[in-house]
Amino acid sequence: MDRRSFIKKAGLATGAAAAATLAAPAIAQSMPELKWRMASSFPKSLDTIYGGAEVFTKYVSEATDGRFSIQPFPGGELFPALQVADKVQDGTVEMGHTASYYYWGKDPTFGFGTSVPFGLNCRLQNAWWFAGGGKEALNEFYADYNIVGIAAGNTGGQMGGWFRTEIKSLADMNGVKMRIGGFGGLIISKVGVVPQQIAGGEIYPALEKGTVDAAEWVGPYDDQKLGFNKVAPYYMYPGWWEGGSMLHVFVGKDKWEALPRSYQAIVEAAGAYSNDWMMAKYDVLNPKALRELVAGGAQLRPFPQDVMEACFQAAADTYAELTASNASFKKVYESMAAVRGEGYLWWQLSENGFDSFMMGQQRKKLL
Amino acid sequence: MDRRSFIKKAGLATGAAAAATLAAPAIAQSMPELKWRMASSFPKSLDTIYGGAEVFTKYVSEATDGRFSIQPFPGGELFPALQVADKVQDGTVEMGHTASYYYWGKDPTFGFGTSVPFGLNCRLQNAWWFAGGGKEALNEFYADYNIVGIAAGNTGGQMGGWFRTEIKSLADMNGVKMRIGGFGGLIISKVGVVPQQIAGGEIYPALEKGTVDAAEWVGPYDDQKLGFNKVAPYYMYPGWWEGGSMLHVFVGKDKWEALPRSYQAIVEAAGAYSNDWMMAKYDVLNPKALRELVAGGAQLRPFPQDVMEACFQAAADTYAELTASNASFKKVYESMAAVRGEGYLWWQLSENGFDSFMMGQQRKKLL
What SS3 state is found at A96?
A: strand
Bridge partners of A162? A215, A235
In angstroms, what CA-CA distances link B3 with A179, A288, B8, B10?
63, 63, 9, 11
The minimal CB distance from A272 to the residues B237, B276, B361 is found for B276
How, if at all, do strands A95-98 and A34-40 pair? parallel
How distant is the Cα of A80 from the closest Cα of chain B, in angstroms?
A: 30
> What gap in Å lies between CA A128 and CA A339, rounded to an integer?
6
Contact B357/A312, CB-based, under 8 Å?
A: yes
Q: State pLDDT tens for residues B303-321.
A: 999 999 999 999 999 999 9
Mean predicted confidence (pLDDT) in B248-270: 98
| SS3 (DSSP) at A160 | coil
Is residue A57 included in any domain, yes or no? yes
d(CA A228, CA B6): 68
Separation in Å, CA B319 to CA A367, B60, B101, B326: 12, 38, 15, 10
- Chain centre distance of CA B14: 51
Q: How far is CA A354 from CA A250, A276, B116, B158, in A?
A: 36, 22, 13, 9
Q: Residue B257 domain-assigned?
A: yes
Q: Is residue B12 part of a domain?
A: no
Contact A19, A27 (CB under 8 A): no
CA–CA separation, B206 and A8 (whole Å): 69
- CB-closest option in B27, B33, B359 to A344: B359
Contacting residues of A for B355, CB less than 8 Å apart: 121, 344, 347, 352, 355
- B355/B336 Cα distance (integer angstroms): 24
pLDDT score of B30: 75
Higher local confidence (pLDDT), A16 or B285: B285
Closest CA to A271 of A150, A139, A98: A150
From A341, A337, A269, select the one nearest A63 (Cα to Cα): A269
Evaluate whether B159 touches A350 at the Cβ level (below 8 Å).
yes
pLDDT band at A24 (very low <50, low <70, confident <90, very high): low
How would residue B28 be classed by pLDDT, with cut points 50, 70 and 90? low
Query: What is the predicted pLDDT for the residue at A198?
Result: 86
pLDDT exceeds 60 at position A84:
yes
Q: How many CA atoms lie within 13 A of B229 on its CB side?
A: 19
For residue A138, give its domain range: 32-154+244-283
Count of CA atoms in the C-beta half-sphere (13 A) of A28: 17
Is the Cβ–Cβ distance between A129 and A195 less than 8 Å?
no
What pLDDT score was predicted for residue B12? Answer: 40
CB atoms within 10 A of CB B139: 16
* C-beta atoms of B366 and A23 within 8 A: no
What is the layout of strands, in order, in the sheet containing A95-98? A68-73, A34-40, A95-98, A246-252, A147-154
Distances in whole angstroms, Cα of residue A150 to Cα of each of A67, A99, A360, B92:
21, 11, 37, 37
Q: Which of B223, B263, B273 to mutate to test the interface with A (most CBs of A within 10 A)?
A: B273
Tell me how far apart the alpha carbons of residues B55 and B180 are, in angstroms, rounded to a whole number: 29
Shortest CA distance to A215 belongs to which of A261, A252, A180, A259?
Answer: A180
Contact list, A261 vs chain B (CB under 8 Å): 62, 65
| Alpha helices per DSSP H over chain A | 3-9, 15-30, 47-63, 84-89, 122-131, 134-142, 182-189, 200-209, 220-226, 253-258, 261-295, 305-325, 327-347, 350-363
- Report the candidate in A358, A154, A30, A126 with the shortest Cα–Cα distance to residue B315: A358
Instruction: State whether A350 and B158 contact (CB < 8 Å).
Output: yes
Q: Within a domain: residue A259?
A: yes
Interface test with B, best of A54, A61, A354, A366 (most B CBs within 10 A): A354
CA B150 – CA B95 distance, rounded (Å):
11
CA dihedral B307, B309, B315, B317 (to 10 degrees): -120
Give the minimum alpha-carbon distance from A79 to chain B in angstroms, rounded to a whole number: 30
Residue A41 lies in a domain: yes
- Residue B191 covered by a domain: no
Chain A residues with beta carbon closer than 8 angstroms to that of B21: 24-25, 28
Chain B residues with beta carbon closer than 8 angstroms to that of A342: 284, 287-288
How far is it between the farthest Cα atoms of chain B?
A: 98
Neighboring chain B residues of A283 at a CB cutoff of 8 Å: 123-124, 126-127, 131-132, 339, 343, 346
Taking CA–CA distances from B55, the nearest residue in chain A reads A269
CB-CB neighbors (< 8 A) of A340 in chain B: 358, 367
Is residue A265 in a domain?
Answer: yes
Specify if B121 maps to a domain.
yes
Q: Which pLDDT tens digit goes with each residue over B38-69?
A: 999 999 999 999 999 999 999 999 999 999 99
Average confidence score pLDDT of chain B: 93
- Whether the pTM exceeds 0.80: the reply is yes
Asked if the Cβ–Cβ distance from A65 to B260 is below 8 Å, we say yes
Chain B hits for A287, CB-CB cut-off 8 Å, are 342-343, 345-346
Whether B351 and A308 lie within 8 Å, measured CB to CB: no
φ and ψ at residue B361, rounded to 5 degrees: -65, -35
Q: How far apart are CA A205 and CA B258, in angstroms?
A: 56
Total domains present in chain B: 1
Residue to test with chain A: of B31, B340, B355, B366, most A Cβ within 10 A: B355
CA-CA distance, A191 to A313, in Å (whole number)?
Answer: 10
- Whether A95 and A251 have beta carbons less than 8 Å apart is answered as yes
Task: Please list every residue in chain A whose beta carbon sits closer than 8 Å to the beta carbon of residue B268.
Answer: 59, 273
A27 closest CB neighbour out of B24, B129, B264: B24
User: What is residue A23's predicted lDDT score, i.e. its pLDDT?
Assistant: 53
Categorize the per-residue pLDDT at B13 as very low, low, confident or very high, splitting at 50, 70 and 90. Answer: very low
Q: What is the CATH number of the domain that holds A94?
A: 3.40.190.170
Interface contact flag, B20 A29, Cβ < 8 Å: yes
Across the interface, do B25 and A20 touch by the CB < 8 Å criterion?
yes
More confident site: A103 or B13: A103
- At B14, the pLDDT band (50, 70, 90 cuts) reads very low
How far off is chain A from B6, nearest CA to CA, in Å? 24
Name the helix (H) or strand (E) containing A150.
Answer: strand A147-154
Shortest Cα distance, chain A CAs vs residue B185, angstroms: 18
Q: Coil, strand or helix: which one is B214?
A: strand
Q: How far is B288 from chain A (nearest CA, A)?
A: 7
- Neighboring chain B residues of A30 at a CB cutoff of 8 Å: 65
Residue of A316, A339, A341 lying closest to B284 (CB–CB)? A339
